[in-house]
Each structure stands twice: as C-alpha cells, then as structure tokens.
Structure 1
Amino acid sequence: MSSRETELHASPNGAVKIRSVVSKLDDDTLLQRLGKRPLLKRSFNFMSMLGFSCSALLSWEGVLVTSVSGLLNGGPAGVIWGFLINWVGMMSVYATMAELASIAPTAGGQYHWVAMMAPKSSRNFLAYLTAWLTTLAWQAMAVSTAYIIATMLQGIIILSQGPEPTYVPENYQTVLILWASVIFAVVMNSTTGRALARFEGLVLVLHLAGFFGVLVPMVYFVPHGIAGSNDARTVFGTFLNTGGWSSQGLSFLVGFPQVGTSLIGADCAVHMSEEIKSASVVVPRALLYTIFINGLLAFGMIVGLMFSITDLDSALEASNTMFYPFLEIFRTAVNSTAGAVAMACVILVLAVASAVGVYASASRMMWSFSRDRGLPFSKLLVKLTKNALPFNCILATLTITVLLSLVALGSSVALNALLSLIIAALFSTYLLVTTLLLWRRTTGAIQPYVVGAESLDADSLAWGPWKLPEPFGVLNNVFACVYCVFLLFWSLWPQYTPTTPTTMNWSVLIWGFVVLASVTWWVLRARHYFKGPIREV
C-alpha cells in the first residue's frame, strides 16, 4: 500500500493548498527488514495475482465436484446453507490472514507469522510444525488437483459415449493422464515469472467467462414446470440424511466441511508474496477480492445446480460410472450429450489452469522452508535459476506428485486417504495463526503502522498498511478462531455410518501421523538445526 505524506504548495494567488503525495512502499526494503534477501523477481501486479488466486481456488468449478457429499448429508438445502456458512467463515479467516500478510508478506506465510507471534519458548517448534503441515498440504493439493483432472477427463469420455458407454477407466490410465497434466503445470512454471503472470491474467478472463458459459445453458435448458423439477421450496428447504446418521442435524454437520472445500486455496497469494509488487497491500487485496468474487460465483453455481437436478438418484449413481454427478446433471439439464461434453470441457480446461497456480504455490512454500533449512536437501532445493525461479522445488513437487500418484495403481481409496490431509493440515495452520494474532492484538503487543519501521520480529511487532479497524478486527479474529475449530472438528468425521475401510475418513490418521512424525523428528534432530526463519540480512 502507498503511504501518504503531505506537502504544501503555493498557488499563483499566494494561497497555500495541501496536496497528498503518494510514495510506494519499497518491497525489497520491507523484505530485508523481515530478515530475507530479495531473490525472486516481482512480476505480479494486482490483476495478475487476482487471476492467479482465483484460478488456484477454482471455486465455482470446485463446488460441482465437492457438492456430492453435501447432497448425501444435507441434501439441496444443506449444500446451499452449508456453503453460505462456510463462505462467511472463510472470509473471516482470510481477512485475518490479510492482516498478517500486510505485516509480513513472505513466501513462508503461516510459519513465518507463527515465528513472529509465538512465545519465545515454543517459537521455533511451532514454526517448524506449521511449516511441515503447510508444505505437505500444498503438496497434497498438487496431487489432488491433478487427480481431479485425470478422473474428470475419464468421466467426460464416458459421458461422450451416451447412455451405454463401452469405455471402462483403468487405474493406470488415470495415473498417465495425471502425469500429463502435471507436466503441463511444470512447463508453465518453468517459464519466466512475467509469462506466468500474463497466463494467470488470461485465466481470470476464462474463469469469469466460463462461469456464464456453464451456468446459463444449464439453468435455461433444464425442463421447468414438470414432475421432478425443483422449485424454490425444494431447493432451499429439502434436507437429506443418506449417511445413516441418527439425526438430520448431525448429517448436515458431517457434510458441512466438504461443501466448503471449494473455498480453500486463496492463500496461494501469500506464498507468492516475494514475486508481487507492493505486496503488503496487493496480497491482502487479492485474498479478499478472491474469496468474495469466487464465493459469489460458487454460490450462483450451487443454486443453479440444485435447481437443475431433476433426478437426484441418477445424479448420485453417476459417481460410480463417471466419477462426478455434475456430468449427469449437465446431460439431463441440456438434454444433449454434445452440449454436456462442451460444458464439462470448459471446467476441465480451467482445472488444468488451476494446476499451474497450485504448483507455483507448492514450490514456493517448499523453497521458503528450504531457505530456512527445514527440509532434507535444503541446499539443493533452495537454488534458483538465472530467471530467479525455484526450479529444483518445482521438480521436487513433480517427483512427489508422481510417487504419490502410484498409490492409485493399487487403490484410489488409499490415494484419497493421503489427499484427505489437505483440510486438516491447512486449517490447523489457520487456527494457530489466528489464535496467536488474537492473543497479540488483545494484549497490545502490535504497534500502529509506521512507514519505515526498523524491524519486524517477535519483539517489535507493528501493523502493516492494511488492517481491520477495531473493534471489528478483534470480533472478526474471534469468529475466525471459532470457525476454524468448528470446521476442523467436523472435517475428521466419516461420511457414512456404520463405517467401513472404504468409507472411513482417514484424514485424522494421516494428519495425526504427520504431526507425530514432525514432533518426533523435532525432538531427535530438527531442534538442533532449525531456528525458525533465518535472518539473512
């Protein structure tokens, strides 16, 4: 954000007038005050970063994929009201993170903020744990995005063959398509930062245009006024409990977290902070604009989707044949296989574009953690190309994706168990940073914003140029903490009862294993060499 200073100027008639002079904050100077050397090129402005974060978030496209669990536990009304609650909660969380990003816009994000705000006795440990959870969550997100792309393409092939398809998807085919999608993401991330920024600006246009290209034909061509068609009372008032839970309320709460997963990932802008111009203002703006725009689009798509369901049983059954119920909903809505395939291809293209942004964020998070010597082979991973790109981290992310995708050759259930880490890991870090910020702001430990503050660390915290006014800031911070606890708790529940190994929600096991492994390694080795974000300057 620009700082405003005042100058006096004499007018021709002798009068004195005041003019506001705007001077841009020096990003590199701020980064040096945070203890980091400016090594990455700042190629992103607000619009390109907005396109980057909107495409990585993939909101209205994502709700088409994630709404099935909400339909099973909650029904149409559960999906709609659950999404609205999640939208408000995520806006609160990202507003809190926007305040932190304005204070310290670094690629490390959450773990750097934890190191700044945590008590001195536990500072390094909490930063280390947060860094591992964030790094692994973004690696899992990279695999998850590629897996969705692969299975969506297979579903589109089945859809294109009409009511009696002959194609039977094999696991090895899923893996090969997955590899092809991540290779494209790696190639795009291996170009210059300026080329990536231009690509993301184009994606923003496609993201907005694609929304209307899918929503308009879906709601326009769906049969109206016939038996089985939905009206407002059905859409906004019909709750379902097909998970076997003891009450409708419990069923709604079980399906509640999955509806909001399409809003996870806007913090990708945080991990790109060191490549953004005027990052202390652009990152907060990108976070808030992204969650507002994408939330609005996603809500519109959810309402349109719920009104377009004429046969819920057939739509849910399509998950066993075409992976995703929305493909069958498209076909019945427009009454055309070709039209449904065209609509689905729009989503597929945007999903491929999303993989580019996810890969960029995952590699930057890995690079940042390596810069502070927290990962194995840190000396190799931290190296940059002549174009200032963390290419070794991009290749490492590709390697991890390839290795994890091999799990799908044996069982897609096992792969989904690994990918279930995303919600639990990310919301654990969100909860930690929002709680620490609440503690610091209520104890008066954060000083007012001052242009050119000498240092920014745990002993001299100061607000950045973007901050919520009080008391709204405190109230929002409290709500963000409550929401994180609520969502984290219900995200660990299985979707069905009684639970089998196939329907089990393995996130609690995977999340627990990561936390336990991190704590164990901290006690044995990491506490001797990891000292939090290293002061390089």
Structure 2
Amino acid sequence: MFPHEPKHADATGAQEIDRLSSQEIDDAKLARMGKRPVLKRNFGLWSILGFSCTILITWEGIVVLFLQAYENGGLAGAVYGFIFVWVGVASTFVVLSELASMAPTSGGQYHWCSMLAPRSAMKIISYLTGWLTVIGWQATFATSCYLCGTLIQGLIALTHSNYQPQNWHGTLLFWAVAVFSLIINIVGGNLLPRFEGLILVLHILGFFAILVPLVVMSDHGDAHEVFTNFLNLGGFPSQGLSFFVGMVGCIFAFAGGDAAVHMSEEITNASTAVPASIMLSVLINGSLGFGMLLAMLFCLGDIELALQSPTGYPFMSIFLQATGSVVGTAVMCSIITTMGISTSVGMLATTSRQFWSFARDRGIPGWRLWSQVHGQNRVPVYSVLLTMCIACLLALINIGSSVAFNDLVAMSISGLYLSYMVVAGLLLYRRSTGAIGHIRNGDSELVNTVGGKLVWGPFHCRGIWGILINACALVYMSIAVFFSFWPPSWAVVVDTMNFSVVGTMGVVLLSLVYYFLRARRIYDGPIVETA
C-alpha cells in the first residue's frame, strides 16, 4: 500500500492507484528517452506475451512451410536445421531483449542505432536501419495475408474437388484478411489486447488439437530414417549447401521477434514486460514448433502423394492420409488458418506502430500526416490505413505472378535481420568497450537516446556471457541473411529465381535518394520532445 493511500480504501481503489502509478513510472521512463507519452497503455504481460507468441506462430509456420526444409535437407536436415535456427534465434532474441529493456520505444532498431552509433555516422545509420525495418515489416504483413489467402484456397480445394484455384482468388482473400485486421486495429482500446490474449489460448490448445489426432491415427515412420536421412532435391553441389538453403523456412517461422518492441509505448512496465514476452515466446514457440516438426516427419505418409496435393499445401494431404476424413482434416487445417489470420492482426499493429514512430522522427515522406494519433483510444489511424493499403497493392503482384510475390518471404527475413545485425554489431562494440553504465536512482537526465548517456535496463546479460551471446547472434544473423537471398534449386530458371535482393536493395537505394534530396536536412535521429 502506498504511503499516501487512505487505510480504508477498497480493493478496487488500490488497484486503480497501482495501475496509475505504473503508468506514471512508464511515462517518466519514456520522458527520459526524450519522448512524450502519446499512445494508450492497454497491454499487460499476459496480453503482450500472447501478442509475441502469436506473431511468431512457429508450430503453425513449420506445418505450412516444412516442405522447403524437406526438399533441401530432407528429414534429418529439417530436424537439425530447426535446432540450429532455434539456438540462433534465442541468442538474437537475448540481444533484442537487452536493447528493448534499455530503450522500450516504438521506434525499436533505428532508435537503438541512434543511441549506440558514433555521432558522426549516427544519422545515416539510424535512417537506413529505420528503412530496413520498414521493408521487413511491410513485407512480413503482406506475406502473412498472402499465406492466409492461399490457405483458405487450399481449404476450398480440400472440401470441393471441382474447385480450380486462381491467383486472383488469392488476392481477393488477401484483401479480406487485411480488412479484418484493419477493423480490429482501428477499434483499438482494450479490444486488441483481449484479442491477443484469447489467441494465445487457441495457439496452445490448437497445437494439441492437431498433434494428438496426427500422432494417434497415422502410420509412423522409422526413427533412423528421420534422424539420418538427408536429401538434396535442389541439386546443390553439396549436402551442406542444400542444408543451409533449406533452413530459410525455419527462419521465417521464427520471424518477427521485435514485434512486441514496436508496441512498447502501449505496454505497462515495458522495460521488463517486453523482454519477458520476447524470451518466453522463443521458449514456448520453439518447444511447440520442434514437437510439431517431429510429429510431421514421423507421420509423413505417402510424401509423393502429399507433394501433388491439389490444395497447394502438402500438410493438408498428410492430415488427410492420417485421419481418413475430409471433415476432420478441414477442422485441423482451419485451426492453422485461423491462427494465420489472427497473426495478421498483430502484424498490422506492429508494422503501423514502427512506421508511425519513424514518421514521428521525420524519417518518412509525408511524416506530418503519418505521425498523427486519433480518437479516445489514441490509435495512429493514418499509419494503420497506409500499411494496409501498401499490402493490398502488393497483393496485385500475385495476380500476375505468385513466384514474384513469394520473394516477399525472403524480403521480410532480409529486411528484419539486417536491421537486427546493425544494432547487434553496435551493441557488441559498446559493451566490449565498457561504454554502457547503470542507472542511478534519482537521475532525471536523458538516457539511451541521441545525446544521452547509455545505461543498461533491467534485463541484461553481464560480462563475458553477454559478449559471447551477442557474437553468436551476429554469426547466426549473417548466415540467415546470406541464405535468404538464395534460390531453392541450383539450376535457376525464372520460376525459381529469388529476386528479394533486388527488392530489398531497391528500397534501400530509393530511401538513400530521399535522404540526400531531403531527409538529411530534416532527419536528426529520434527527436527529443518536450512536454
């Protein structure tokens, strides 16, 4: 009980005082980083944990994308590739958690660059990192909606044998998912946190709803084959090269670790809740994902039949072979599709908040418009609308070529991981030189922003362990980015060419043009705002 609180205050009053006190503490921390509290803090630990877990949806992603690991790596390659990625992602998430604990702002990577980079290079490094994050999240949201649209098409093909899927059908379904995500985000308030908490329950219960019938009803493969059988169906010169190319599916299944970071200004006790949600999400999703991967590999059935599935997704055929029931398979696939649609809701929130924050600091053309916040629930409506419109325009690519649209998957990996690499490299340099101190009670000066001193947050890996984890994260991210640009087969034709490097570098070059024409005169990193 607080000293000023009346002794006869009821439980509701005490809770209200605690809540207001927590918000005041969060706002004070934000002010020390030079930012005014603009958004409403509706998320607690449970809801932001649901948000983080359901952005990753690793076990669902493994089911949908396991074919890539199977073709390049085989059964054993899929197992060991997942373990490699899980360890690498865990080390990367430790670094993100440390940075989020130091500076829990919606800006995320570009803000961290501005506080860690040398002053002489701060502007350009922070600016480019901001655009890499924009590329990564815009591509990730569009990819999520695209996968949901094609999953719905797969369900229709599963239940109606005379259905002939067309690319434009997928685009229309894409738009439907985007509009649903828009509605949840525009309403704002307590709806989004409650929605994410509910989806976390479905995420966990849905895992068992699929795992149990799959394992119980299907014929099981041989353990020796699962753990020792490698494949190189992409025709690469070596099995090792094939293995690393096949890991891209697993990497994408863990994409979006910084999602909670960009919601920081809407979370109570963000400096501890965000790191906790990030680390718990990699533990929960990694465990569920590995369990589901093993179940899929042991219960493959006739893999050649699965590869020829008219649904476009081999996992639907695997489920059908296991259950022998179209209705049962449709229910199982509907769980995964529902989770995908729910993920798109969170991805729109994250993408729009990062875009809004970068606009707030004048890194985006038309920043005055995109940085506005509206309504009683204080939602950046214009940024939400623009994000949805960009995704819907990208969906038009699918009408002409689904191959071209598939490169967005790789762009989401390259954009996000390149932004992680920049901040991880700067953090490793700063921690190795002892440039980061500890906060002292009673201090009110600026910290962890341009011109402020660097201090660790509550989540911090001390000493040599922090340096080793940081270094391991950089090695893993370098591998992930490098192989995200590779095609799925050695003999490259138009249908298998990976154009993501063109898309990523193209946006970077355009952002550089804007920087030298205008942004270098108005962008100075995160603006220190006054109350």
- TM-score, normalised to structure 2, is 0.93
How far 1:467 moved relative to its partner?
0.6
Whether 1:210 and 2:206 are equivalent positions in the alignment is yes
2:373 corresponds, among 365, 369, 384, to 384
Separation of aligned partners in 2, 1:183 and 1:256 = 32
Contact 1:36 1:535 in 2 (8 A): yes
1:224-276 deviation line (CA, Å, top 9, x unaligned): 4xxxxx11111111110100111211111111222221011121100000000
Contact 1:449 1:465 in 2 (8 A): no
The answer (yes or no) to whether the contact 1:74–1:239 under 8 Å persists in 2 is yes
Quick one: structure 1 residues 501 and 118, their matched pair in 2 at CA, closer, same or farther if it must change by over 3 Å? same
Give the aligned partner of residue 383 of structure 2. 393
Corresponding residue of 2:342: 353
Report the Cα offset of residue 142 of structure 1: 1.2
Matched residue SS, 2:285: helix
Aligned counterpart, 1:373: 362
Whether 1:308 aligns to 2:307 is no
Say whether 1:498 aligns with 2:491: yes
Shift of 1:376: 1.7
Say whether 1:422 aligns with 2:412: yes
Q: CA deviation at 1:146?
A: 0.6
- Residue 167 of structure 1 corresponds to which residue in structure 2? 163
The answer to whether the Cα contact below 8 Å between 1:82 and 1:260 also exists between their aligned partners in 2 is: no
Match of 2:317 in 1: 328
- Is 1:199 aligned to residue 195 of structure 2? yes
Residue correspondence of structure 1 range 78-227 to structure 2 within 5 A: 78-161=77-160, 165-224=161-220
Partner of 2:16: none
Within 1, Cα distance between the matches of 2:442 and 2:248?
42
Which residue of 477, 485, 496 maps to 1:484?
477
Question: Aligned match of 2:421 in 425, 431, 435?
Answer: 431
> Which of these residues, 453, 464, 471, is aligned with residue 460 of structure 1?
453
Does the 8 A contact of 1:450 with 1:462 survive in 2? no
> Residue 9 of structure 1 aligns with which residue?
none
Give the Cα separation in 2 of the matches to 1:316 and 1:73.
14
CA distance in 2, matches of 1:193, 1:325: 39
- Shift of the 452–340 alpha-carbon distance from structure 1 to 2, 3 Å rule, reads farther
- The range that moved more, 203-212 or 464-473, is 464-473
How far 1:452 moved relative to its partner?
4.5
CA apart distance, 1:213: 0.3
Superposition deviation, residue 345 in structure 1: 0.5
Report the TM-score when normalising by structure 1. 0.92
Distance in 1 (CA, whole Å) between partners of 2:203 and 2:407 is: 29
Q: Deviation of residue 451 (structure 1)?
A: 3.6
Report the Cα distance in structure 2 between the residues aligned to 1:137 and 1:248, rounded to whole angstroms.
29
User: Does the residue aligned with 1:310 lie in a helix, a strand or coil?
Assistant: coil
The aligned amino acid for 1:522 is Y
In structure 1, give the amino acid aligned to 2:367: S
How large is the Cα RMSD of the aligned pairs?
Answer: 1.3
1:273/1:279 contact within 8 Å kept: yes
Query: 1:198, 1:521 → 2: CA distance?
Result: 40
- What corresponds to 1:65 in structure 2? 64
Structure 2: how far apart are the matches of 1:46 and 1:445? Answer: 31
Answering whether residue 441 of structure 2 is matched by residue 442 of structure 1, we say no
Task: State the one-letter code of the partner of 1:208.
Answer: I
Structure 1 pair 193/452, CA: closer, same or farther in 2 (3 Å)? farther
Alignment length, in residue pairs? 505
| Unaligned residue ranges in structure 1 (runs of 5+) | 1-22, 225-229
Distance 1:127 1:452, change over 3 A: farther
Give 5+ residue unaligned stretches, structure 2. 1-20
Aligned-residue offset at 1:147: 0.5
2:273 is the counterpart of 1:282: yes
Cα deviations by residue, 1:474-526 (Å, 9 ceiling, x for unpaired): 11011111111111112211111210111011122212212222223222222
Counterpart for residue 529 of structure 2? 536
